[in-house]
Amino acid sequence: MSVSLRPARPAFAPDVEQRVAQLAEHGVDTVRVMLPDLNGVPRGKLITLDELPAACRAGLTFSLAALTDGLRGHSLSGPSSPRGRGHPDVIAFPDLPTLRRVPWDSRLAWCLLDLAGAASPRQALRDAIDRATRLGLQPVVGPELEFYVLDADLGAPRPHGGVPGLAYGTAADGDVLVAEMLRAARELELRVHGASHEFGRSQYEINLHHGPALDAADRAFLFKVMVKELATRHGAAATFVGKPFADDAGSGLHLHLSLVDADGGNVLHEASASDGLAGPAHALVGGLLEHAPALTALLAPTINAYKRFAPDAMVPLAINWGLDNRTCWLRVPLTRGAATRVELRAGDAAAHPHLALAAALHAGLDGLERGLEPPTPVHGDVSLPGTALGAPLPRDLDAALHALHVDATLVAALGEDLVADFTAMKQLELERFRAHVTDWEHAEYLRAL
């Protein structure tokens, strides 16, 4: 990951001393500063609260390699990689608007970081937002995230009613743990709607309120960190893996996206149009559909994610769009006016909120800039065998990474360095998977052959 001279943002927060004093009054003495790596996993360090002003002024040293270390700590090799360059440091600055107290630890606060002069997922999203701003637009995003609550040993999902002190059942029943997540999310100012018990055993969905794109992605990232940490504190575990069990439902990340002008007006709505959609809405859809194969690498960034793409599973099977049709790759919900939006339904819950949203924004904005027109929307259930209308999606991570590699427009928009590092990290993941002997192979071959 090469280093440029791009300045850090923000370099200094003038009200940092006031914020430190306010936190100190509430008993906070430690800050966890962090940022998402290329997998969306939090990386960072702990500092004392009284060090925060100095960190805002001069920054903190941060290992660049931490962004590209795989999920099992496998560093990228090669002369251009952080490892090949001797694991250099970059400077990271706390982004003070993201500073918040942690409700389950009265002495701890969280704060996100920006890297100075280095490509990063948050910077990729900032760049996409800047592109929209140059068009006189601001993207507004509402994320929806599904996850499973598991036994602490990551075994089978907890059966409904099977754990003392936890109430499982319908969405109305709720769960002691999930209720605590909602309360904690409110105190963390993550702005959540509420929780639903989903189709899977011990699977839940918690929706976040819509908001400015960077804020929405930050809240989605922190929400995932919160869910996993609170599950651990309850002697359980939580996972955002897209298809953790072959015989149960998959977990997704749905992104609701709209665009507003300088006056806050939704530019996707047109009351006089037969479908209620303005020209920018069609162009946005056109861009998203055109770049859908490449987007898949970031919406479904794991080997496991492609096991979700199965018939009759409420997961899109082809590149298409529809009006209020949840079986499509892209859905335009029924509401119009200020709530007019598009919903990307192909995202895996393990997707990186910042990278997925940055890529989606660049794809949609490319459609706006070029005035693309989408094909005719599809109708009916297109999730059943033989009904998938539209070009096929990449069938696995290898194919999706290739689609990203050949989409020169999206690569240039996201940044060649960032895409190269993401791709190299995922290729290493693929190589390790191909070399791994699975339980299925044991069951299938050991006795018979």
Give the residue from 118, 144, 167 where a domain finishes. 118
Cβ neighbours for 351, distance < 8 A, ≥ 6 positions apart: 40, 253, 298, 299, 300, 301, 305
In a domain, 99, yes or no: yes
145 forms bridges with which residues in the sheet?
206, 253
Please tell me whether residues 66 and 140 are part of one structural domain. no
Token digits for 296?
Answer: 């898949």
Please tell me whether residues 110 and 149 are part of one structural domain. no
Give the pLDDT band of residue 63 (cuts 50, 70, 90): confident
Please tell me whether residues 114 and 234 are part of one structural domain. no
Give the pLDDT band of residue 359 (cuts 50, 70, 90): very high
CATH assignment of the domain containing 105 = 3.10.20.70
In a domain, 295, yes or no: yes
Cβ neighbours for 119, distance < 8 A, ≥ 6 positions apart: 1, 2, 4, 415, 417, 418, 421
In a domain, 251, yes or no: yes
What pLDDT does 168 receive? Answer: 43
More reliable by pLDDT, 1 or 230: 230
CA dihedral 222, 228, 234, 235 (to 10 degrees): -160
The label of the residue with tokens 């992605």 reads 217
> SS3 for 259?
strand
Instruction: Give CA–CA dist 296/398, Å, rounded.
Output: 11
**pLDDT tens digits for 90-135?**
899 999 999 999 999 999 999 999 988 778 999 999 999 999 999 9
Nearest to residue 394, comparing CAs of 303, 311, 263? 303
In a domain, 150, yes or no: yes
| Total domains, the chain | 2
- Please give the helix or strand (H or E) that residue 33 lies within, else none: strand 30-36
In percent, the amount of the chain with pLDDT more than 90 equals 73
In a domain, 9, yes or no: no
- Is 80 exceeded by the pLDDT of residue 172? no
Q: Report, as an integer, the average pLDDT of 35-58.
A: 94
More reliable by pLDDT, 132 or 66: 132
Instruction: Give CA–CA dist 192/181, Å, rounded.
Output: 10
Please tell me whether residues 174 and 273 are part of one structural domain. yes
- Residue 364, CA atoms < 13 Å, CB-side half-sphere: 31
Q: 159-163, 180-184, 293-297 — which is least confidently predicted?
A: 159-163
**pLDDT tens digits for 201-248?**
888 999 999 999 999 999 999 999 999 999 999 888 899 999 998 888
- Is 60 exceeded by the pLDDT of residue 49? yes
Is-contact 262 347, C-beta < 8 A?
A: no
Cβ neighbours for 283, distance < 8 A, ≥ 6 positions apart: 367, 368, 370, 371, 372, 373
The whole domain housing 73 covers 16-118
> SS3 for 439?
helix
- Is 70 exceeded by the pLDDT of residue 296? yes
Q: How far does CA 133 lie from the centroid of its chain?
A: 22
In a domain, 165, yes or no: yes
331 forms bridges with which residues in the sheet?
322, 343
Residue 436 CB neighbour total at 10 angstroms: 8
What pLDDT does 370 receive? Answer: 98
Q: Report, as an integer, the average pLDDT of 354-362.
A: 98
What pLDDT does 191 receive? Answer: 96
In a domain, 205, yes or no: yes
> SS3 for 384?
coil
Is-contact 176 166, C-beta < 8 A?
A: yes
Cβ neighbours for 185, distance < 8 A, ≥ 6 positions apart: 191, 192, 206, 223, 226
Q: Is 53 left (phi over 0), alpha (psi -120 to 50) or beta?
A: alpha
In percent, the amount of the chain with pLDDT more than 70 equals 88
**pLDDT tens digits for 399-409?**
999 999 999 99
- Please give the helix or strand (H or E) that residue 57 lies within, else none: helix 52-58
The mean predicted confidence, pLDDT, of the chain is 89
- CB crowding 90-125: b at 16 or more within 10 Å, else e: bbbbbbbebbbbbbeeeebbbbbbbbbebbbbbbbb
What pLDDT does 84 receive? Answer: 56
Give the pLDDT band of residue 9 (cuts 50, 70, 90): very low
- Is 70 exceeded by the pLDDT of residue 173? no
Please tell me whether residues 21 and 40 are part of one structural domain. yes
CATH assignment of the domain containing 166 = 3.30.590.10
